[in-house]
Structure 1
Amino acid sequence: MSVTVLGECVADAFVLPRTQGAPGGALALEVHPGGGPANTATALARLGTPTRFLGRLAADPFGALFRDRLAEAGVDLTDCVAAAEPSTLAIAALDERGQAGYSFHAEGTADWQWRPEELATVDLTGTQAVHTGSLALVRAPSGQVIEEFLARAGAHATISIDPNLRPLLVAPEHYRQRIARWCTLADLLRLSSDDLALLSPEHTPEQACDHWHELGVPVVVLTLGDRGALVSLNGTRLSVPAVRTRVVDTVGAGDAFTGGLLHALAGRRLLGGRLSTLTLEQLADGCRFAAEVAALTCAVAGANPPRAEQLRRPA
């Protein structure tokens, strides 16, 4: 059961603590490969799901970093595009809770420059699910091109979308304008509590789920940090508790959760269509597994999801 992930790679440059005697007061950065879709692809492949990544990878040092991380995880990069544009860079600073605040260097970078012909020839035979979201889905010119690809893929594959709002780069109003279209394309919508606060601040989590169901998406999963997750299947709901862990940082935790959930659904042979045979308990059980994947990601620095042998429970 293979999963195709489409979207961006981002170089996450973490600000290191200043050290005494640093020459010229220099600022030290440690760069990790990141980007929501790339993190999810890495999580899926490390857990053992055959995974293909569709990305536009630059020829700069960051592009090489992305290729190395994805290839090491076992992700198929055959259909990636060798991009002429530079990689996207995010500068991240962690607060005392391990939460990252970002500033982005993203204008004219490779990730948002998809052209229709670059995706038109992608072979979807054998793809049981397509996952996408984040910035490549919402920024021009990529957004419309990716939506057209999802419409084609959705004829036989499950479509998973994680909007992953980034208000520093795209105004929340723009996401609100697009969410109705995404709900008609998606079978699974995964959002965080931060996404909900920006996207639908007037709604409770339950009201937001019902609204998105009305727009067409059958499965909504809201991850709520240390409060666990709310899972909603066509309006019937369960809460899934978080897995307790020592938090180093929360970078990539939501992406790892999505990878864990898709891996669990793939292992049960539930992907490949509109999730019409999925039960609420199957969905909740997949989210319990995903919560452990996310917890292990929070326990280490950066977006570094676990391998299957590190988990206490099978998918």
Structure 2
Amino acid sequence: MIAVLGECVADGFTARSPGDRPPAEHGGEALELGLRVLPGGGPANTAVALARLGTPARFLGRISGDVFGELFRRRLTASGVDLSASVDAKEPSTLAVAALDTGGQAEYTFYADGTADWQWTPYELDLDRLGPVACLHTGSLALAKEPGRAAVEAFAREAAGRATISIDPNVRPSLASRADYPVSRWCEWTDILKLSADDLDFLQPGVPVERACDAWHAAGARLIVVTKGAAGALVSLDGERASVPAPRVTVVDTVGAGDSFTAGLLHGLAAEGLLGGRLDGLDLATAVAAAEFAARVAALTCSVAGANPPWAAELTTGGPG
């Protein structure tokens, strides 16, 4: 069992064409949009991807009772995610409106003030809620955004005594500053650090990836994986490094690709019986094999709209359907 702690986010995608004009009856002042809302949020996406791949996944989230919260519950449950450790929250859900560029990359505008995902308290987070798991994955905004970030960090630090810890900063510069991502401190109790090249550029501007990895290894993280989109990924295990290519795929959008990569990586390590401790027995070849599998999972996610990770059967058939 892998537990995932973090947020659910309602991802809204606009359907307005660039040439559309506002309705004349509003004097040209209205903006008429078709908004398609899909369930998302980095940690929730990772939990869904894990369960679809066949790894038992438990989601620790604060899920609202509003219409978006019901959407989240249906998606997580339909994918086979265990919600017994989640909290029924009174606050509203977080909404993110995404604009896609020509390469399918999303830029988000967040509506996140006072929403359910960030209100964790120490009373809601204890090891009884975690249960018997081999790994805890967290990160993203739940580990960076007030007021709940301190409770999440303390919980993850305590959980390190019984489980492998995985972190994905998944930085959101519009909602959090560089100081809100103390990655070196997190590495003191983290075994796996996965981040993107964009994350690295934000967190360590101008610092070569090898130097950043070595600093985080020295702080305590054994396995670091840096994803680079179509350029693949860099795998660094205690300073020993290798590159992993990205499969070629027709990209619809990249929403949720990084989250699916994380799930594929953890699934691969779990399949080798390596989770549950400090990655004892992990060698570079095994880490690379897990990252290669993760790259396939991410590629399939890019081939469909939204954060819709593949099921295990799709990894053998080559794609959805």
Percent identity of paired positions between Structure 1 and Structure 2: 57
Question: What whole-Å deviation, never above 9, does each CA across 1:195-250 have from its counterpart, x for those lacking one?
Answer: 01100012111111111101111110000111100000000000000011000000
**Any gaps of 5 or more consecutive residues in structure 1?**
none
* Equivalent-residue separation in structure 2 for 1:200 and 1:21 (angstroms): 42
2:163 is aligned, of 157, 170, 189, to 157
- Displacement of 1:267 after TM fit? 1.0
* Equivalent-residue separation in structure 1 for 2:175 and 2:302 (angstroms): 25
* Equivalent-residue separation in structure 1 for 2:147 and 2:99 (angstroms): 29
CA contact 1:79–1:122 (8 Å) conserved in 2: no
What are the equivalent positions in structure 2 for 1:107-256 lying under 5 Å apart? 107-120=113-126, 122-175=128-181, 178-256=182-260
* Equivalent-residue separation in structure 1 for 2:317 and 2:38 (angstroms): 28
Aligned to 1:10: 9
1:151 is paired with a residue whose SS is helix
Question: What whole-Å deviation, never above 9, does each CA across 1:247-297 have from its counterpart, x for those lacking one?
Answer: 000000000000011011111111001112101000000000000000000
| 1:32 counterpart = 2:31 | no
Cα-Cα RMSD:
1.6
Q: Residues 54 and 84 (structure 1 numbering): CA distance in 2 closer, same or farther, change over 3 Å?
A: same
Normalised by the length of structure 2, the TM-score is 0.94
1:203 is paired with a residue whose SS is coil
- Displacement of 1:13 after TM fit? 0.3
- Displacement of 1:312 after TM fit? 3.2
| 1:273 counterpart = 2:272 | no
Normalised by the length of structure 1, the TM-score is 0.95
Q: Aligned letter for 2:277?
A: G
Aligned to 2:61: 55
- Displacement of 1:123 after TM fit? 4.3
2:51 is aligned, of 45, 54, 58, to 45
**Any gaps of 5 or more consecutive residues in structure 2?**
none
* Equivalent-residue separation in structure 2 for 1:280 and 1:143 (angstroms): 32
CA contact 1:289–1:313 (8 Å) conserved in 2: no
1:117 is paired with a residue whose SS is coil
2:186 is paired with a residue whose SS is helix
Q: Aligned letter for 1:8?
A: E
Q: How many residues align?
A: 311
* Equivalent-residue separation in structure 2 for 1:253 and 1:281 (angstroms): 23
Aligned to 1:91: 97
